Amino acid sequence: MAFTLTDEFKQRAEKICARYPRRDAALIPLLLELQREAGYVAEEAMDALSGYLGLPYSRVKAVVTFYTMFNRVPAGKYHLQVCRNISCHMAGAPGLLAALRARLGIEEGETTKDGLFTLSAVECLGACGDAPVLQVNEDYFGRVTAEKLDVLLEDLKHGKYPSTR
Ligand code: FES
């Protein structure tokens, strides 16, 4: 499938590139922009971005496959990523994952039928001091309890994106 970077994207991309000493340093922010537009980063989008930045496709793909924040297939409006590493595991991450599976009726890697939620278990999010940590799209929610999770899910279902503070 042909994929073209839109003029709007290119305008935003130029502003982002201008913040960095080298254009290739803008790779991750630009991938996030692409993901915001489409909900995921398709192979064709990686290809288009590699041409735009003058980078090898393999480098773009390596970044997208390394970071779990990038979706390579269409994801729900809210991508719920539960950290499963040791600090979060000991602070209750398995219970959070189980609660999310039960509440949403999906397993990890799946998306709810209404397209609202995708669930993933991911490696350390680098916020171990706030374990257990849940990432929703690009935002972190720390010290998540069952009660906080209920409130968060209800807010998201009703289109209210909660503050991370
Ligand atoms: S172990 Fe969960 S954020 Fe590091």
CATH code: domain of residue 47: 1.10.10
- Is the same domain home to 50 and 91? no
CA 131 to centroid of ligand 1, rounded, Å? 6
Give the CATH number of the domain where residue 125 resides. 3.40.30.10
Contacts of 121 (CB under 8 A, 6+ apart): 81, 82, 83, 84, 93, 97, 108
Alpha carbon distance 113, 123 (integer Å):
26
Q: Does the residue 101 lie in any domain?
A: yes
**Per-residue pLDDT, 51:** 95
- Is the same domain home to 91 and 139? yes
CA 10 to centroid of ligand 1, rounded, Å? 35
Alpha carbon distance 162, 122 (integer Å):
21
**Per-residue pLDDT, 164:** 62
9 close to 37: Cβ distance less than 8 angstroms: yes
- Is the same domain home to 32 and 94? no
* Residue 124 alpha carbon, nearest atom of ligand 1: 4
* Residue 85 alpha carbon, nearest atom of ligand 1: 1
Which H or E element spans position 45? helix 43-53
- Is the same domain home to 12 and 32? yes
CA 145 to centroid of ligand 1, rounded, Å? 15
**Per-residue pLDDT, 39:** 85
Number of structural domains, the chain? 2
Q: Is 137 helix (H, G, I), strand (E, B) or coil?
A: coil
- Is the same domain home to 108 and 144? yes
Alpha carbon distance 34, 25 (integer Å):
16
CA 85 to centroid of ligand 1, rounded, Å? 5
Of the residues 120, 123, 128, 140, which should be mutated to test ligand 1's pocket, given the most ligand atoms within 8 Å of the CB? Answer: 128
Q: Does the residue 164 lie in any domain?
A: no
- Ligand 1 site residues, Cβ closer than 6 angstroms: 83, 85-88, 124-128, 131, 133
pLDDT tens-place values along the chain, 165 residues long? 678 999 999 999 999 999 999 999 999 999 999 998 888 999 999 999 999 999 999 999 999 999 988 999 999 999 999 999 999 999 999 999 999 999 999 999 999 999 999 999 999 999 999 999 999 988 999 999 999 999 999 999 998 877 664
Q: Does the residue 72 lie in any domain?
A: no
CA 97 to centroid of ligand 1, rounded, Å? 14
CA 124 to centroid of ligand 1, rounded, Å? 4
- Is the same domain home to 92 and 137? yes
- Is the same domain home to 85 and 148? yes
Q: Whole domain around residue 142: which residue ranges?
A: 78-157
- Is the same domain home to 62 and 82? no
- Is the same domain home to 46 and 99? no
